[in-house]
């Protein structure tokens, strides 16, 4: 039975499409999507995986078929036929990738916008000025160095001042020692920001957490309650806003299950909004080389039910009160600073070795 080539092409196309769709949705390369934003990012990743799988199978299939069908036969010593090119084929294999790249670019833009990357109430609220379009070195000024003196509002400083209004945050940050960077010309805050989704643009977050990165620990403070802890607890289904900076060098907030990664930069106030959707305990990893103990700079983010979160918060409030009374009663005269603090930082998830190392650095 002689099957027409058009039928073979249709059958192969259907098989490749089904295989690509199946693998793109079942590759198992990503951890659980624990936030609403992670679902959107996974949709983009799965789409790219479907496309790349189809292209891979098609190209490799043609190569293997051609290598077998057009292999050199025994006794065939003639040269191959000269082929100068095929214009329609070249147009086809140029146009198809261009359309794919354009489609993925548009989809990527939509995903970035949906997770709050283009929040008009954060980094992009200042209009582009003529100065910013003509000023020499604007790109460097916006990313690497401070900007010329200006009488306009400094959004980065305002965010820092707002965070420092919380006594618990002020106790762990050194904003008074690190100058806050001014706004980039005509762009707004120089700090990286992922704001609320378009549906929540302009609305306040349901929970605020201030995060301070330092060698080699993450410190979490809750402005609404004054709690300071070494691990972060958030309730399922409530939008969380993180205000983040660093006391010494650049760190990076990365939770693989959240599909979010943001730098914590000295002198800049980074912000992230996300909405947890699956309860569990997730590792917070510093993804920026920050010193010899960088690999140990880890913490945990606990996503739990509202009832469990309320119970944890109540426990922290009680523990904070008891710890304060104990701290007042104890005379640390015979203890070194790191020995005295070990009892309290143990509950915050800070290792004694890290505390000793930070004390030695402060002495030096």
Output the tens digit of pLDDT for each of the chain's 364 residues. Answer: 678 888 888 999 999 999 999 999 999 999 999 999 999 999 999 999 999 999 999 999 999 999 998 888 888 888 878 888 888 889 998 999 999 999 999 999 999 888 887 654 444 444 444 444 444 444 433 444 445 555 666 777 788 888 888 888 888 888 778 777 776 555 555 566 777 777 777 788 899 999 999 988 999 999 988 899 999 999 999 999 999 999 999 999 999 999 989 999 998 888 889 999 999 999 999 999 989 989 899 999 999 999 999 999 999 888 776 655 554 444 455 566 556 556 655 655 666 666 566 656 655 5
What is the residue-wise DSSP string for 197-255?
-GGGTTSPPSEEEEEEEETTEEEEEETTTTEEESSEEEETTS-EEEEEEESSS-EEEEE
DSSP secondary-structure letter at 81? P
Q: Which helix (H) or strand (E) holds 282?
A: strand 280-286
Q: Which helix (H) or strand (E) holds 171?
A: helix 167-172
d(CA 110, CA 233): 30
d(CA 142, CA 65): 53
Longest dimension (CA), the chain: 98
Q: Which residues contact 206 (CB under 8 A, 6 or more apart)?
A: 238, 239, 240
d(CA 8, CA 333): 86
- pTM for this predicted structure: 0.74
């Amino acid at each position: 039975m002689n099957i027409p080539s058009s039928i073979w092409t249709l059958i192969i196309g259907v098989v490749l499409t089904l295989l690509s769709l199946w693998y793109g949705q079942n590759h198992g390369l990503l951890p659980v999507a624990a936030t609403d934003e992670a679902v959107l990012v996974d949709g983009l990743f799965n789409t790219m995986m479907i496309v790349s799988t189809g292209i891979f199978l098609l190209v490799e299939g043609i190569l293997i078929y051609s290598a077998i069908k057009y292999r050199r036969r025994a006794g065939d010593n003639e040269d191959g036929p000269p082929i100068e090119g095929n214009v329609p084929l070249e147009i086809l294999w140029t146009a198809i990738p261009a359309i794919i790249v354009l489609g993925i670019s548009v989809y990527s833009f939509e995903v970035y916008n949906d997770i709050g990357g283009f929040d008009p109430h954060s980094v992009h609220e200042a209009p582009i000025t003529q100065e910013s379009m003509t000023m020499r070195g604007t790109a460097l000024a916006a990313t690497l160095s401070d900007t010329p003196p200006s009488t306009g509002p400094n959004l980065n400083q305002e965010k820092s001042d707002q965070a420092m209004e919380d006594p618990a945050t002020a106790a762990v940050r050194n904003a008074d020692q690190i100058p806050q960077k001014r706004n980039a010309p005509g762009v707004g805050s120089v700090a990286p920001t992922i704001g609320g989704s378009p549906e929540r643009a302009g609305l306040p977050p349901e929970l605020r957490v201030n995060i301070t990165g330092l060698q080699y620990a993450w410190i979490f403070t809750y402005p609404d309650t004054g709690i300071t802890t070494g691990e972060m607890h958030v309730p399922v289904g409530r939008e969380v806003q993180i205000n983040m900076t660093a006391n010494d060098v650049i760190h990076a907030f990365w939770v693989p299950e959240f599909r979010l990664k943001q730098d914590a930069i000295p002198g800049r106030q980074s912000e992230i909004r996300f909405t947890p959707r699956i309860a569990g305990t997730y590792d917070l990893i510093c993804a920026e080389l920050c010193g010899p103990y960088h690999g140990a700079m880890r913490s945990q983010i606990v996503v739990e039910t509202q009832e469990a979160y309320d119970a944890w918060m109540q426990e922290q409030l009680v523990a904070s009160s008891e710890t304060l009374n104990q701290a007042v009663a104890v005379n640390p005269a015979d203890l070194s600073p790191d020995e005295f603090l070990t009892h309290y930082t143990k509950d915050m998830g800070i290792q004694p070795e890290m505390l000793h190392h930070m004390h030695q650095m402060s002495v030096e």
